Amino acid sequence: MTPSRRTCYIARVTDERPSFFARLFLAWIAYFRTLFDSEFAAGVARLRHAPALSAGSESEERPKAAEERRPTPKPIVLKEATPDAACQILGIFQREGRLVDFLQEDVSSFSDADIGAAARVVHEGCRKALDEHFEVEPVRSEEEGAKITLEEGFDATRIRLTGQVVGEPPYSGTLSHRGWCVTGVKLPQLTEQHDPKVLAPAEIEL
């Protein structure tokens, strides 16, 4: 066997686990090269004292390396709502539409006609407060009942899937509610003496 063919053969067999006869052939070549080639012998000595890397440890290192390259998900940060602003908004709906009075009332003994009459007054006042202090628009511009296709990467904070949700996007479904989002808030400024927790002061008639 010529040196070039011998080199090719060695390269080919070292790409995978060599058989017994391939190892015997390599050992025979390595024996004479180690005996007569000092540079090759030095390489064999370095290889002999190098730490062994088993196939199992190598396979264990690959997943670790992949995990190190994988981006770390951002932690979920919880934001606490400001109680004063929430109380101020509730106070506005109480002042304009008597919302708290309506919700705190026990309507189980009222007739549907009485509830409907009270709801009309509450609806009118609360809608006035909503229009005055908030800018609201639908999340989706399509009419309810329209067929919608959601591609991969849709904003899950603005769209909620209902029904049987299986598989991966794209999803096709029917728009059952357009949703609402606030695009502007115009709350009045409060004085230092104002207590927003007082939704409606008690009234005493003299």
Summarised one tens digit per residue, pLDDT across range 23-65 is: 666 776 776 677 667 777 777 777 776 655 444 555 555 555 5
- Residue 63 forms part of a structural domain: no
- Residue 170 forms part of a structural domain: yes
- Residue 68 forms part of a structural domain: no
Whether 11 has a pLDDT exceeding 50, the answer reads: no
User: Do 92 and 120 lie in a common domain?
Assistant: yes
Per-residue confidence band for 100, with pLDDT thresholds at 50, 70 and 90:
very high
Query: In this structure, what token pair is assigned to residue 150?
Result: 């959601």
- Residue 59 forms part of a structural domain: no
Domain count of the fold of the chain: 3
Find the mean pLDDT for residues 142-166.
94
Distances in whole angstroms, Cα of residue 148 to Cα of each of 99, 126, 137, 141, 177? 35, 32, 19, 11, 12
User: Do 116 and 88 lie in a common domain?
Assistant: yes
Question: Greater confidence, 130 or 26?
Answer: 130
Average pLDDT, the chain: 81
Per-residue confidence band for 5, with pLDDT thresholds at 50, 70 and 90:
very low
User: Do 43 and 27 lie in a common domain?
Assistant: yes
Find the mean pLDDT for residues 3-14.
45
Residue ranges making up the domain that contains 18: 3-52
- Residue 89 forms part of a structural domain: yes
Find the mean pLDDT for residues 92-108.
95
User: Do 126 and 86 lie in a common domain?
Assistant: yes
Phi, psi values for residue 195, rounded to 5°: -105, 105
Question: Greater confidence, 43 or 95?
Answer: 95
Cα 206 off chain centre by: 59
Q: Which residues contact 131 (CB under 8 A, 6 or more apart)?
A: none
Find the mean pLDDT for residues 130-152.
96
- Residue 160 forms part of a structural domain: yes
Q: Please count the CA atoms within 13 angstroms of the CA of 65 that sit on its side-chain side.
A: 6
User: Do 124 and 155 lie in a common domain?
Assistant: no
Which pLDDT value is given to residue 27? 72
User: Do 38 and 96 lie in a common domain?
Assistant: no
- Residue 67 forms part of a structural domain: no
- Residue 149 forms part of a structural domain: yes
User: Do 27 and 91 lie in a common domain?
Assistant: no
Which pLDDT value is given to residue 60? 55
Find the mean pLDDT for residues 89-113.
95
Tell if the pTM clears 0.85, that is, is over it.
no
Find the mean pLDDT for residues 153-159.
94
Whether 85 has a pLDDT exceeding 70, the answer reads: yes
